[in-house]
Structure 1
Amino acid sequence: MEEILRFEHVSYAYEEEREALLDVCVKVCAGERVAVLGSNGAGKSTFFLLANGVLRPGAGRILFRGAPVGSGAKQLNVLRRGVGLVFQDPEVQLLGGSVEEEVSFGPMNLRLPVGEVRARVDAAIRSFALEEYRGRAPQYLSGGEKKRVTLADALAMEPQMLLLDEPAASLDPANTRLLEQNLQMLSEQGLGLMVATHDVDFAWRWATRVLVFRGGRLAGDGEPREIFENVSLLRTCGLEQPVLYRVGRVLGLAAPPHTVEELEQEWKP
């Protein structure tokens, strides 16, 4: 798979002698679905802010598509265009007077031709089923609809990777299912996806890879089964095994199911 983003021994401190991220080495490729786990203060948000260029490393370096990202405005803009960031609280991102204005804001700042801006906006709005909300003010939409607008914002920039910080926070079950369908759609389009979450059940059923942060360090990096069978790692990082993983083990299944549908197929009482 094509490498999109690489951290080489990256560290960052908000205050002197208090490292928020310490000596992190990791690479992420196109098409990967990565769940980023860890307790509050473990370093997940700092990792995302560095990956998007909002913060700059105190030590080490970040590479985007194989090229080191310097501190110049041009290089940072290339990184921010290529790696989109969707915050946990959509209110932080929503600035436009209407959904259409909101989604067009990023492409217009790129000084793209009007026709290309329109095409990108139309495609992003269509992808997240927001056509009927084009003229609506984003602040009057529901929580789930606002989340879809922020995803459309990011998609209109045509990134190679999307970072989502707790995207299911405060969503009801129906909107959570819709969010996962949208993430699946983006993955099928070839985007690399990294989702910071506390939900180990979501990570188990959705991710192809799991990163675990603890105390600013990358404590674990592997396939979901490898991570969730490491009881010592989970205990140290304050995490639990997913429910369906434990159910599969109790029932003695060779492979723990990732979904209820898999469980129904594999277990015959």
Structure 2
Amino acid sequence: MTNLLEFDNIHYAYPNCQESLSGVTFSIKKGARVALVGPNGAGKTTLLLMCNGVLEPSKGRVLLDGRPLRYDSRSLREVRKKVGLVFQNSDTQLFAPTVYQDVAFGPLNLGMTQDEIRSAVARSLAAVGLTGYEKRPPHQLSGGEKKRAAIAGTLAMEPEVLVFDEPTSSLDPAGAADLMELLDEFNAKGTTIIISTHDVELAYLWADQIILMNKGKVIHAGTPEEVFTDPTLITSSNLRMPAVLEVYTELVSRLMVEKTQSPKSVLQLISLLEQSSSKPRADRVPGTITVCDVDATSAEEITAWIADHPGVRCGAMGTRAKNLAECESISLDFTYGVIDKGILRALVGDCSVLLTPASMVPHVFRRVDAYCRESGNTIAVFHLNPKTQSPATGITKEGNQKG
């Protein structure tokens, strides 16, 4: 991966204030999932506002695709087509009388035709699960719906980079999980995602690059494991260790598990405990995971398949999958952490079907395959074909028919 965004010795001070950023230097690769982590006042929001030129450094350079940002109106318009910013408070970003007009604002300013604008709005609202909300006034939306409307307005510009300031703030746990799944879906399509957060649990599990900040400086830039397993870094940034790491550290200190690669999830921690257990495992046939692409399978086929397989656990990833489940009254056993929960159920012999958009299907196969290689367990994953396949037969990996 090549560097998409670079921050070179960035300094910035608001009027009559001390520097909010002081000598910030790091780079972000194309397709990455990056979390800026640090306490309040660390400089995270100020740095995010540099990404698409809302703020100009007082010293240093921001580079996009290897070229320094220029701050004239024409240049900034081009930058903001590539880098979309979603603010922490959605009310500051939603200002038009209707959702349609809000989402259409960016394309309109790009000089698109009315047909192009209608297409961009429809595509963006569908992506965030707000189709049918076009005439709704933004102030009548819930907090989660406002956040999605703000994202849709940014998506209408078709950016290569999506930047979010505290994306899960003001959302309940279910809404936060839905939003992070939505970001995963965008990332699976190749979009670079940058978020700021002080939620160490979210950052540790989600990101592949952590930029640890405090008092306007970058304390460390590295992988989640590098950052969150270093007590000195955590203490110096006024943060805490993620809960799963804290439990793992205690288990290692008690010689209950061997010190190995740090677990990022409950699933990985359970796997370590099972491997370290002196008790023989129960002789249980593992369950299977069936992946259903909701973009290629009709609602009728999905409900019929589920009816033909009583007892199968059901999970849904992404807005379209969850909307389909709600419309068809499909009872969901998993609505967040869906892949890991499917794996956990398979380990105790249960079969699961995971409803997911097309873009996330390969991710499910890769995630289960990675777990099986790491743990030594074997879990069969099938691509649902309602006409010919069941949890016991099908495709073990995409494109290969199981014999």
- TM-score, with structure 2 as normaliser: 0.64
Question: Could you list the per-position Cα deviations for residues 90-143 of structure 1 after superposition, in whole angstroms to 9, with x for gaps in the alignment?
Answer: 100001222222111111111112222222211111111101322211110111
Instruction: Report if aligned partners of 1:12, 1:58 keep a CA contact under 8 Å in 2.
Output: yes
Distance in 2, Cα, partners of 1:77 & 1:116: 18
Distance in 2, Cα, partners of 1:84 & 1:190: 14
Distance in 1, Cα, partners of 2:235 & 2:82: 35
Distance in 1, Cα, partners of 2:98 & 2:218: 40
Identity of aligned residues (%): 38
Instruction: Compare 119-128 and 67-76 and name the one that shifted more.
Output: 67-76
Q: Secondary structure at 1:266's aligned position in 2?
A: helix
Q: Report what 1:165 is aligned to.
A: 165
Shift of 1:89: 0.6
Question: Could you list the per-position Cα deviations for residues 46-82 of structure 1 after superposition, in whole angstroms to 9, with x for gaps in the alignment?
Answer: 1011112111110111111111112322222222221
Question: Could you list the per-position Cα deviations for residues 194-245 of structure 1 after superposition, in whole angstroms to 9, with x for gaps in the alignment?
Answer: 1111100000110001001111111110000000111111111101110111
Q: Report what 2:197 is aligned to.
A: 197
Distance in 1, Cα, partners of 2:89 & 2:147: 8
Q: Report what 1:220 is aligned to.
A: 220
Instruction: Compare 45-54 and 243-252 and name the one that shifted more.
Output: 243-252
Q: Secondary structure at 2:112's aligned position in 1?
A: coil
Q: Secondary structure at 1:51's aligned position in 2?
A: coil
Instruction: Report if aligned partners of 1:248, 1:255 keep a CA contact under 8 Å in 2.
Output: no
Report 1:13-32 matches (<5 A). Answer: 13-15=13-15, 18-32=18-32
Report 1:1-269 matches (<5 A). Answer: 1-15=1-15, 18-252=18-252, 253=257, 254-268=260-274
Instruction: Compare 201-210 and 8-17 and name the one that shifted more.
Output: 8-17
Instruction: Compare 107-116 and 246-255 and name the one that shifted more.
Output: 246-255
Q: Residue 273 of structure 2 aligns to which amino acid in structure 1?
A: W
Q: Residue 174 of structure 2 aligns to which amino acid in structure 1?
A: A
Distance in 2, Cα, partners of 1:136 & 1:16: 41
User: How many residues end up aligned between the 2 structures?
Assistant: 269
Q: Which runs of 5+ in 2 are unaligned?
A: 278-403
Distance in 1, Cα, partners of 2:4 & 2:243: 32
Instruction: Report if aligned partners of 2:53, 2:71 keep a CA contact under 8 Å in 1.
Output: no
Q: Secondary structure at 2:21's aligned position in 1?
A: strand
Q: Residue 263 of structure 2 aligns to which amino acid in structure 1?
A: P
- Quick one: higher RCO (CA 8 Å, sep 6+), 1 or 2? 1
Q: Secondary structure at 2:213's aligned position in 1?
A: strand
Instruction: Compare 246-255 and 54-63 and name the one that shifted more.
Output: 246-255
Distance in 2, Cα, partners of 1:54 & 1:47: 10
Shift of 1:17: 7.0
Distance in 2, Cα, partners of 1:76 & 1:3: 20
Q: Report what 2:311 is aligned to.
A: none
Query: RMSD between aligned alpha carbons?
Result: 1.5
Q: Secondary structure at 2:96's aligned position in 1?
A: coil
Q: Secondary structure at 1:96's aligned position in 2?
A: coil
Distance in 2, Cα, partners of 1:87 & 1:177: 18
- TM-score, with structure 1 as normaliser: 0.95
Q: Secondary structure at 2:26's aligned position in 1?
A: strand
Q: Report what 2:334 is aligned to.
A: none
Shift of 1:173: 1.4
Instruction: Report if aligned partners of 1:4, 1:160 keep a CA contact under 8 Å in 2.
Output: no
Q: Residue 260 of structure 1 aligns to which amino acid in structure 2?
A: V
Distance in 2, Cα, partners of 1:44 & 1:104: 29
Distance in 2, Cα, partners of 1:8 & 1:16: 24
Shift of 1:84: 1.0
